[in-house]
Structure 1
Amino acid sequence: MKFTIECEDYRTLRIPNSSSQNVKLGTLFVKIEDLPEGLVDWMEVNPRSPKYTKGGKLSGSVSRSIVKTLQDEPELFSLKNLGIYLLVDEVHSQRVPGDRHSVEIELTEPKCHGIVNGGHTFSAIRQVLDSNSYKGGAFVRLHLYMNVPSDDIVELAEGLNKNLQVDDTSLNDLREKFEPIKEFMKGKKGASSIAYASGDDGDVDILDVLHILSCFDLSSYPAGGKHPNDIFGNKSKILNRYCEDIDIDNGAYSKLIKKMDEFLILSDEIQKRCATITSYYKIKNTSNHNRVGSDPHKKPAVFSNGEIGGYIPQGWLYPMLSAFRANLSMDSWNKGEIRWLMDPNELLEEIINKLVEVITELHKEHKNKPGEVGRKPTAYDMCYSAAFMALAMKGKIELNA
């Protein structure tokens, strides 16, 4: 296999203390859409092949996290991802007009060449590109290993892949921590769709479920003074907080789990309504499937009935969802219970247009980067205020809370 990639810069370094003086490492950043699809046939040298659900989607928290970054924050992908490591036969580079580099890469033997690490990254890239949920702007780093002796390939592959093993193992070891969630969700719609560890057959990562629950944590985010923007994109913080809290008597998550089906349904309902309103809203800078409501973005609701008629980025969803924290009784929370001040579906009907207005305006202000919307406190504060005002107008606010 031979392919050529054009890039802004290309560098080559000799790897010190290697068994051969000719072992080198080339490095460059490439647009993800410029990676040849044919690399999928060059993974024999990788000891960790990506796993897929029955629906053909990547399984495992690491893979799902990569997909989310590509969909919601493509401009940060080159910073958050370690890249793809390729064992190659030859590399030839030359300067081209525009002070750029043209890099020709050749792979000749599947047992010695191919993706030695980063197979999950490449598979996530293909999943996003093939599903038309990519809006552009992502670069991935290519690490090109040249002249690596065949005897060293196994050790190289094992060493490079240990990072993913740690992430997967840590989640597998936490299975018991998730038992309260599994127990509560038994028999409820969407229960089988939650993936609790790498290899589980489910399209909804447990860390995304914990994020939804965290949006309603009145212990960490009481009233409207502090919002859960601090956990956006920080899955380790969410997981650590959950693990520390779940064993505490009357802890925040023990309370939240008692209503988690309602929180998950509300998340679906917000996405349904938002997709209806923003159906023609442009979320991608491409010519195809660039609208919220483009056909490839439509999907069945997981926890509620019906269909979510478009792609709603998490950077939009979480500020809108956390606004409903204003609809929880603080008095009941302090007593170890969770009680809505008003039927959440009725409140959603009242405020959805305002929530969408807030989110889409901030989306434009942040140059169509939904991840920036989800990270900034402004979106949460404005959405929360919309919910609070609607509740106040109906006399639902607890004055002594």
Structure 2
Amino acid sequence: MKELTFNITCDDYRVLQIPNSEGQKSKLGTLFARVEDLPKDLKEWTSVNPRNPKFSKTEKLSGQVARSIVKTLEEEPEKFALKNLGVYLLVDHVESNRISGDRHEVSITLSDIDKHGIVNGGHTYRAIRQVIEQNTYEGQAFVRLHLYQNIPEQQIVDLAEGLNKNLQVDQASLKNLVKKFDPIKEAMSGKRGGDQIAYSDGEPGKVDILDVLHILSVFDLNQYPGKDKHPNDIFGSKQKVLKRYDTDIDNKENSSFARLLPRIDEILILSDEVQKQCAKITSYYKIKNTEDSNRVGSVDHKRDAIFSDGEISGLIPQGWLYPMLASFRANICRKSWDSGQLVWLEEPLVLLSEVINDLVEIITTAHKEQKSRPGEVGRKPTAYQLCYFTVFMKLVEDGKVG
């Protein structure tokens, strides 16, 4: 294979000498690059990585970790540099030159496919290529590049194994909880979409168990009993959601999930239906700043619903979905919850049809106020508060609450 050379323009570039490198003068360079500056040909340089990404039948990345990276790039690209560890490259050599504005132009060369390439961060790189090639990326994301030079050949395997342990820890934390997911498997047995939930990284399935747990968590009246506290505090924090489930499911006397699981199929259907109805209303709404696929109802965003019938005709970011979904906590009978059951005050889908227009108006207004950043809509309490109040007042009008 021919050598690969590409250039990155960045604000800063630093180099550190690596200690104890057996006289090889090994160095580690670091910089932040715009994700769109990583060349597509880099995907051929992965031989040095013992863990290659897995893909679904539709050629999309599979697994919780990879899908989480994609979601950050699509919904919160401005936070990518903070939330992602970056791409680690073994390279032949690097040249850096100062350019105008006290910036750096860094030229990176890989020459031997057996010694150079992505030694860690393959999932990150492929997630970047996926969102760019599928036109679901709107810009503003930076990724950290770690550039290893002059690494002795005999140490490449050690380096790769050490770096890749990071991902293994996340997988282990999920695998350790696999048995604790049995109540969810039992509750979804025979239900539509039950076979589409992936309970550990690499399992087939279109929906990650962590997303299911997040959806259930927004209905947790033990954590969020009313109008004064909302589940914006768990948005983007999958580890917090997972830890809370791990602790709660063992609480035999007062488990929130023990109340929620008998209604899990209804909750997941409601999640699909919120997305369906929101997508119809906002079909022409510009959700991204890209030239292609920049509207909710763009053809690339249409997909089959998983837990309900029909099609979701557009892209509804989680930052939109969760505040609308969480508002249906107001529809839970508090007296029944305190006695250990989840009972609706009004049939959820009937209630949804009566409030969806108001909920969508709240969400789209918040989206504009947050400068078209759906992640910020989901992270801040305002949309949750207004959506909750909307559902609560409708129930008051219907005589369901006093």
- Considering the TM-score relative to the shorter chain, is it more than 0.5? yes
Does residue 274 of the first structure (1) align with residue 299 of the second (2)? no
Task: Work out the CA distance in 2 between the residues paired with 1:300 and 1:17.
Answer: 55
Q: Is the 8 A contact 1:87 1:113 kept in 2?
A: yes
1:201 positional shift: 0.5
Give the 3-state SS of the residue equivalent to 2:225 in structure 1.
coil
User: Match for residue 86 of structure 2?
Assistant: 83
Q: 1:106 aligns to what?
A: 109
Retained in 2: the 8 A contact 1:60–1:197? yes
In the alignment, which residue of structure 1 is the partner of 2:67?
64
Alpha-carbon distance, 1:294 to partner:
1.1
Cα deviations by residue, 1:149-204 (Å, 9 ceiling, x for unpaired): 10111111111111111101111121100001111111111111111001100121
Contact preservation (8 Å) 1:85, 1:115: yes
Residue 142 of structure 2 is aligned to residue 134 of structure 1 = no
Aligned pairs for 1:301-380 (under 5 A) are 301-380=305-384
Secondary structure at the aligned position of 1:258 is classed as helix
Q: Does 1:29 align with 2:16?
A: no
Match of 2:120 in 1: 117
Amino acid at match of 1:247: D
1:83 Cα shift?
0.3
Q: Is the Cα–Cα contact under 8 Å of residues 276 and 312 in structure 2 kept in the other structure?
A: yes
Aligned AA for 2:398? K
Q: Secondary structure of 1:91's match?
A: strand
Q: Is 2:167 the counterpart of 1:169?
A: no
Q: CA deviation at 1:8?
A: 2.1
- Asked if 1 retains the 8 angstrom alpha-carbon contact of 2:135 and 2:290, the reply is no
Task: Structure 1 unaligned segments of length 5 or more: list them.
Answer: none
Deviation by residue 1:95-148 (Cα, 9 ceiling, x = unmatched) = 233433221111111110000010111111122222222222111011110111
- Rounded to whole Å, the distance in 2 between the matches of 1:94 and 1:203 is 45
What is the percentage of aligned positions where both structures have the same residue? 62
Work out the CA distance in 2 between the residues paired with 1:396 and 1:346: 13
Does the Cα contact within 8 Å between 1:86 and 1:143 map onto a contact in 2?
yes
Q: Is the 8 A contact 1:67 1:125 kept in 2?
A: yes
Distance 2:294 2:263 in 1: 35
Q: Is the 8 A contact 2:24 2:151 kept in 1?
A: no
Unaligned runs of 5+ in 2: none
More deviation, 205-214/333-342 = 333-342
- State the 4+ residue runs in structure 1 displaced beyond 4 angstroms: none
1:295 is aligned to 2:299: yes
Q: CA deviation at 1:269?
A: 0.7
Q: Tell me the matched-pair count.
A: 398
C-alpha contact 1:53 1:203 (8 A) present in aligned 2: no
The one-letter code sitting in structure 1 at the alignment partner of 2:229 is K
- Confirm or deny: 8 A CA contact 1:84 1:141 kept in the other structure: yes
Q: Tell me the residue number matched to 2:146.
A: 143
What whole-Å deviation, never above 9, does each CA across 1:51-79 have from its counterpart, x for those lacking one? 22334332222112111111111100000
Name the aligned partner's letter for residue 196 of structure 1: Y
Q: Is the 8 A contact 2:24 2:150 kept in 1?
A: no
Structure 2 CA distance for aligned equivalents of residues 11 and 276 of structure 1 = 49
CA displacement at 1:387 relative to structure 2: 0.3
State whether residues 133 and 297 of structure 1, in contact with CA within 8 Å, keep that contact through their aligned partners in structure 2: no
Q: Does 1:94 align with 2:115?
A: no
The question of whether the paired residues in 2 share the 8 Å contact of 1:54 and 1:201 is answered with no
Structure 1, 125-134 or 185-194: larger mean CA deviation = 125-134
C-alpha distance in structure 1 between counterparts of 2:352 and 2:102, whole Å: 53
Q: CA deviation at 1:233?
A: 0.8
What letter matches 1:267 in structure 2? S
What residue in structure 2 maps to residue 258 of structure 1? 262
CA distance in 2, matches of 1:219, 1:145: 49
CA deviations over 1:200-237 (Å, ceiling 9, x no partner): 00121100000000011111111222111111111111
* TM-score of the pair, normalised by structure 2: 0.96
Report whether the alignment pairs 1:180 with 2:183. Answer: yes
Q: Which amino acid aligns with 1:251?
A: S
Local SS of the residue matching 1:106: strand
Q: Distance in 1 between matches of 2:298 and 2:57?
A: 24
d(CA) in 1 for partners of 2:138, 2:8: 21
Contact 1:27 1:144 in 2 (8 A): yes
1:22 counterpart SS class: coil
Q: Deviations over 1:315-361 (max 9, x none)?
A: 11100000011011111111211111111111111111111111111
Contact kept, 8 Å, 1:135 with 1:283, in 2: the verdict is no
Q: Distance in 2 between matches of 1:326 and 1:63?
A: 34
Q: Which amino acid aligns with 1:216?
A: F
Query: Residues of 2 paired with 1:166 and 1:392: CA distance?
Result: 48
Instruction: Supply the AA of the counterpart residue of 1:101.
Output: H
Structure 2 Cα separation of the partners of residues 172 and 369 of structure 1: 33
Shift of 1:21: 4.8
